[in-house]
Chain A
Amino acid sequence: MQSRERMNKRVTNGIALGVIGLAAIATVGALGTILLYVIINGIGQLTPAFIFTWPHGVNMEGGIWPTIQSTLYVTALAMLITTPIAVLAAVYLAEYAVQGRLVSIIRFAADSLASVPSIVMGLFGLALFVEGIGMGFSVIAAALALSFLLLPIIVRTTEESIRAVPKYIRWGSYGLGASKWQTVSRIVLPSALPRITTGVILAAGRAAGETAVVIYTMGTMINAPVSPLDPGRTMPVHLMLMAQEGINMPAAYGTALLLVLMVLGFNLTARYIGRRNRRMQG
């Protein structure tokens, strides 16, 4: 009797763990399929000509340089706008905030911003920045709309990074007579900096891949923006339009691959910084 129960237990255990393993395999498999497909079909496109020249001719033959420039420009601008505000907001929430109505509201607002569908954010950008303030389709309008999207992400990761700084370091600082701001700015933030940077870089990866927000705030014109008021077309938008038109598929594959490589680059850089930091902290 007992040994049959034990056998049943083991059999169920084995099967269940096998199924769980399958789930993990399916997940990795999904990633692998997507990456492999994009790489195989796009790798042929990755010539210096493709990366550095402009599209020309019927159906955008040629390169995608202006889209690369647009993507980098808007991502950099968005990070420039969001990061200071987000970091300082996180400092408030981690160091100064007292649990109460206001903090509850702030957190609820941050969570809401984080789950706004990006197309709603795009229409918001259109309504406020492009039409309301009158910036027109421009890098700055897109960057501002993106920064609302990125704010809660960076606040969250920065807050975690700050909380990860051990308490005794702060106590030591206060014990030496430092004020709160001195402690935060000279001890806590530098100590949390690698993790904050990781969070910022991951957020940049998110910004680079955004489509719905950018399409309604930056437009779809092929252009290499110089001033923040110039319109442009980013790589995700270009990919979407190429895929929808459906005529120049090789260019679409190339754009997809470059985009994936860019995001992978952001991801791996963030991971590298995180790992180096962990190793240094011992």
Chain B
Amino acid sequence: MLRRCALCLAVAISAVSLLGLSGCKKADGASQTSLTVTGSTTVLPIAEVAAEDFQTANPGKRVLVAGVGSSAGIESVASGTSDIGTSSRDLKPEEKSLGLVDTKIALDAIAVIVNPSNPVSGLTKVQVSEIFQGKITNWKQVGGPDLEIGLVNRDEASGTREAFSKFVLGTADFDPTAAVLPGTGQVRSVVAQAAGAVGYISLGFVDTTVKALDVDGIPANETTVADGSYPLWRNLHFFTKGEPKGLIKAYVDYVLSDNIQNTVVRDAGFLPIAEGGTKP
């Protein structure tokens, strides 16, 4: 019992001292040796692989990456919990006053996907909007078979959902009876396995198990995204509180370097930011 008290005391002392030490971590970027990057699950692959390579190239520096959703990422960088907030959507009006600096790091497009067995190969933007609002409920209403539409939505934390909502629905709401799935891969595998399913994922994750639809007659591929004809595109962002400095700047520059842009970004299915040209 005395032993237990001693143990408690030891734990308490070490906890307090470590608390004190770790408090120094969130000083300015210049003297940091570790970096916290949180936010969008869409940006996660880029951030993580770049972090790994960055750590190999700069021994002694650590970059901790987590994917929790664009909104959570923005909030945590604004509150100082993390150094960089990644996001797959632009700042909302109420977030513009948080003092965040935007660095765009890649280009992405959102594809509307259906099961490969679905004969429908393209929809108009209006049709897509009505399907996801729940106004169209059967494929035969858009030229497909007599099959109930299985609507697959993303969770509200998802930047992909925000972007899709902004592009396609405008101010309308998603059908509340749609299934809400928390990850890109899940959306993809559910759509791949259910004949009547429809969902939306980042173009970079489309593979042979699903089929991407044409939107307003434009197919979804790299060319149409680069030249701006495919309507559902977006920038991927790194947000920092104030201009990036020190270790933060080193990491951001690393991600923007040609090497990373042409390997990691492309491997993840996105386009280098330079391709976007004069897009806003």
Contacts and interface: CB of A to CB of B under 8 A. Distances in A.
A73 to B, nearest CB: 14
Interface stretch (A165-173, A195-203, A217-225): A217-225
Interface stretch (A186-194, A241-249, A261-269): A241-249
Contacts of B267: 58
B191 to A, nearest CB: 11
Interface in A223-267: 223, 227-229, 243-249
Contacts of B14: 227-228
A247 B64 contact: no
A134 B18 CA distance: 12
A279 interface: no
30 contacts: A57-B49, A58-B264, A58-B268, A134-B19, A135-B19, A136-B22, A140-B15, A219-B66, A221-B65, A222-B64, A222-B65, A223-B64, A227-B18, A228-B14, A228-B15, A228-B18, A229-B18, A229-B22, A244-B183, A244-B186, A245-B41, A246-B183, A246-B186, A246-B188, A246-B189, A247-B183, A247-B184, A247-B185, A247-B205, A248-B185
B45 A59 contact: yes
Chain B interface, DSSP helix/strand/loop, else mixed: helix
A9 interface: no
A228 B187 CA distance: 36
Contacts of B189: 246
Contacts of A247: 183-185, 188, 205
A18 interface: no
Interface in A101-160: 134-136, 140
Interface residues of A, number: 26
B123 interface: no
Interface of B: 1, 4, 7, 11, 14-15, 18-19, 22, 41, 45, 48-49, 52, 64-66, 68, 181-189, 205, 264, 267-268
Nearest to A59: B45
Nearest to B204: A58
A245 B160 CA distance: 13
Nearest to A229: B18
B32 to A, nearest CB: 16
A4 interface: no
A84 interface: yes
Nearest to A58: B45
A6 interface: no
A185 to B, nearest CB: 10
Given A135-B15, A245-B41, 12 more contacts: A57-B48, A58-B48, A84-B4, A140-B15, A223-B64, A228-B15, A229-B15, A229-B22, A243-B186, A244-B182, A245-B183, A247-B183
Contacts of B182: 244
A219 B185 CA distance: 22
Contacts of A227: 14, 18
